[in-house]
Structure 1
C-alpha cells in the first residue's frame, strides 16, 4: 500500500509540474475519449440506448447495424438547448455559474434500398449522422484568506483570492454508414466517423496582499490556449433476433486517431519573453466495445440495455518527456471506460413515451496529492474523484406522429461531483510550471482543492419525415 502511494505521488509530482497539467488530463478524457454525443430526441430520451433496436441514423452513434433495421427512408433535425451549471465550494464558501446555449444538435438521415430478389438479403441501407455539442465549462472558486503565499524576495505575504477555469468551444461527429438486413433476423453494419473539436481555454487566479490591500491577477503559464483538432474512427456492428421478442447486438469502434494543433501564451521566457507558442500532437483514444440486448414485447413497448467497455487506454505520440509522463500517468492511473445505458419506449396510438438512464464510471484511480486544508495547512490526501468523476444521466421524452411527419421532445439531466485541483507550482518570472507574475516569486508545494458539483439540464426538439 505504501509503495503504491509513493509511486502515485512520484508520478503526480513529475506530471503535475507541466504547464497545462490538469487541463490535459481533463480534455484527454472529457473531450477526446469519453464525451457522450447528441442524437435525435428519441435517442437522447432513451439514454442513448439503442444498440439492439436501431432503426434510425442515431444508430451510428452506438451500433451501425441498426441502419439495417430501417424499412423506410427518414430524415430529421434536432435543436438542442444545453444548460451547464458548476458550483465550486472551498472552505465553506460556494460560487455558482450557469451557462445556457442553443445550437443545432443533430441531423440524420437513412435511405433504404429494398432488394427485389429471391436472396435472403432484404435491404441495403445507407445512413449519415451529424452530432454537435458545446464544450463550454466554467468553474470559479472563491478565495481563502487562510492560504498564504510568501514572496521569497520581499517576505511579503499574499492570500489566495480567487481562481477561474474557463473552457468554451464545440465538438462534432459526422458519421457515414451502411447497414444490411438478412432475412429479417440478422442485421450487419459498418460506419466511418469524422470528429472535429475546437476549444479555447484559460486558467486565471488572484492573490490579495496582506500588507497593502492590493490584488494581483495571474494567468497560468501556457494559457490562454487554443486547440483545433480532428479525428477519425471506424465502427462495425451486428444485431441478431433470437426470437420475435428478443434481440442481441454487439459493436466495436476503433480508437479515434486525433491530430491536435495548439496555440498557447507563455510569459517571461529567458529568450523569447512574452510570446505565443505553437505545437501539434497525435492522440489516440481508447478502443471501445458495446454489447446490447433488447426486449420488444409488442409494437407498443420496447426496452434496450447497452454496456460499453473501453479496451485500451488513451495515449499521446511521444515527442518530448511531457508526452512520456502523460502516457505513464494514464498507464498507471486510468480506469478503462465503463458505461451502462438503459432506455424504454411505450406507444399509445400516435403518442410515444420514452425514458432512459445512463451511468459512466470515474476515469481515474484514487490519487494522492498534497493539498491545503481550509485552515491553510499542507497535508497529503487521497481522492477517488480527482479532476473527473462518474456521470449519471436521467432522461425522458415524448413524441407524436403525424402520419409521415413526427415531432419529438426530450429532457436530459446529467450530474457529476468531483474535486478540482489548482494553484500548484511556482509564481515566478522565469518558471514554466505554474502561474506567471511580473513581481512575485512565490512557491506553492501543494494544490488548492475545491469540490465541484456539475449539473447539466439539456432540452431537445426533433422534427422528422419518413418516406
Structure 2
C-alpha cells in the first residue's frame, strides 16, 4: 500500500513564507495573540467591555484597576457551551461542519479589604480569574474534478476534498491587586499565565481517475501537536470625571510564549525515531486598552473599550523559517484593532445586558495566484483578498441575570460571525511508496504553482451560565 504525503511549500514567495503552513500563521494570531478569551456570563453579555466599570474578577481580562472598584467579596463559576460552524464554498459547491463543546469556561473571585484608617485609600482588593475556551476549528473544502494532478500516465488524480482540523484549548489564569483611592481613582496590576494545548492536521484527498479510489495525503509536517505556556503582566488605572463618567487605561505586556511542538514523523518506529520535541519562542503583541463608562445611576451603566496592538508577533530566530515568518508579519500584518461596547440595566432583582464587539482583519490585502475562474484548470489568475486566512469579526450578545440576595445566576447568548478566504494546496504533491510525512527528497513530484482559495463563513454560537455568591 502506498504511503503518501502532500508537501506544501506553503505560502508563496512575496506574500507568504516557504517551509511553513497557512495554519501556523493562523494560529499565531488566532490562538497565541488572542484577545477575545471569554469570562463570566455578565462579561460576555456586555461584549467583553468592562475596562472602566470593573467591579469583579473579570477586570483582570481588560483592566486590573477594576478590581479596586469592588466593595464586597465575590466568587463565581461559569459553564460555557460552544457551537463553531465553518461553511467552505468553492467553485459552486459548499460543505458545512459544526463542532460542539461544553466546558468550565470561567472561575473568578475577589477578596476586598476595607482600610479602617484616616487615609484616602479606602480598599485594597485581591483577585484571581481563570478563563478557558475551546479552540477547535474544522474547515472542509469540497473537491473539484477540474483540478487534476498527473503523477504519471497511469496515475492521475482529481481533488476530492481538503480538510483543515485543529482541536485543543486555550486558558488564562490571572492574579491581581487593585486599590481604591477616595472612590475617585482606582489602580491595579495583574500577572497572567496562559496555556495552549493544540493538535493540528491538514489533509487533501485525491481521487484516481483510473479506478475511482481515494488517497489521503497529509500536508508536510502534519499532523503535529503543541503544548505551550505564556506569561504577561498588566497595569491599569480608572478615574472618575464627575459623578457619572469614568475613564480607564490599561497596558498588557507582550505574552512571552514557550512552545513545544512535536511532528508525527518524529515518532515513527519505521525509521527508529524516538519521541522528539522542537522548541519555539514567540512574543505576541503588546496591547493597550482605552475605556470610557457612563454610570447613570444604580440601574443603568454602559462601557466602551478600544484595544490596539502596539507591537507585532515575533518569533525568536533559530533559522530561516522564523526569519521569514517575522518578515511576513512585519510586512503584511496590521496592528490588532478591537472595539467593544456593553450596557446593563437593572429592574429590581433582574438584570438585562447587551453587547457588541468588532475585531478588524489582521492582514492587509494579499494577492495570490489561484486556479482559473470558478475552479477551472485554466490559466492562473492573480487576485487580491482583503480577508485572507482571518477576516473581520462581529460579535453580538445579550443576557439576563437574577439576584437572590447574596446569590445570583446569569445567562448569556453570544453570536460571533466572520468570513475569510482560505488558501490551500499550493506547493508540491508527492506519491511515493514507503515515505512518511517529513522533509525528504521524493522521487515522483507534481508541482502546483497556484492556490485553491475557498470562501469560508464562520459562525460561533456561545451560551454561558454563571452561578455566583457575593459576601
Q: Give the TM-score band, short-chain normalised.
A: over 0.9
- 1:218 — aligned with what? 217
Q: Which residue of 2 aligns with 1:379?
A: 381
Aligned pair partner of 1:10 in 10, 13, 17? 13
For residues 325 and 342 of structure 1, the distance between their equivalents in structure 2, rounded to whole angstroms, comes to: 37
CA distance in 2, matches of 1:39, 1:76: 10
**Equivalent residue for 1:252?**
251
How big is the shift at 1:214? 2.2
1:340 matched residue in structure 2: 339
3-state DSSP class of the match of 2:110?
strand
Partner residue, 1:36 = 36
Q: Tell me if the contact between 1:424 and 1:448 (Cα under 8 Å) persists in the aligned partners.
A: yes
Alignment of 1:419-434 (within 5 A): 419-428=421-430
Contact 1:428–1:438 (8 Å) recurs in 2: yes
User: How far apart are 1:116 and its partner, in Å?
Assistant: 0.1
Query: Partner residue of 1:232?
Result: 231
What SS does structure 1 have at the residue aligned with 2:328? helix
Partner of 2:23: 23
User: Distance between the aligned counterparts of 1:165 and 1:266, measured in 2?
Assistant: 18
Contact 1:43 1:49 in 2 (8 A): yes
Q: Deviations over 1:274-321 (max 9, x none)?
A: 887521010000010000000011111001000000000000000010
CA RMSD of aligned residues (A): 2.3
Deviations 1:244-276 (A, max 9, x none): 100000000000000000001349x9x969887
* Ranges in structure 2 where 5+ consecutive residues have no aligned partner: 1-10
Query: In structure 2, how many angstroms separate the alpha carbons of the residues matched to 1:264 and 1:411?
Result: 38
Distance in structure 1 (CA, Å) of the matches to 2:274 and 2:392: 38
Tell me, yes or no, if structure 1 residue 415 matches structure 2 residue 417: yes
What is residue 452 of structure 1 aligned with on the other side?
456
Deviation string 1:206-235 (CA, Å, 9 cap, x unpaired) is 111222322211111201100000000000
1:53-68 equivalences in 2 (<5 Å) = 53-68=53-68
Helix, strand or coil at the partner of 2:14: helix
In structure 2, the CA distance between the partners of 1:432 and 1:315, relative to structure 1 (3 Å rule), is farther
1:294-443 counterparts in 2 under 5 A?
Answer: 294-373=293-372, 374-377=375-378, 378-428=380-430, 441-443=445-447
Matches of 2:352 and 2:363 in 1, distance apart?
36
Change (3 A) 1:392 1:437: farther
- Asked whether the equivalents of residues 75 and 464 of structure 1 are also in contact (C-alpha less than 8 Å), the reply is yes
Deviations 1:51-109 (A, max 9, x none): 00000000000000000000000000000001100100111111010111110000000
Give the equivalent residue in structure 1 for 2:6: none
Matching of residue 289 in structure 1 with residue 285 in structure 2? no
CA distance in 1, matches of 2:120, 2:217: 68
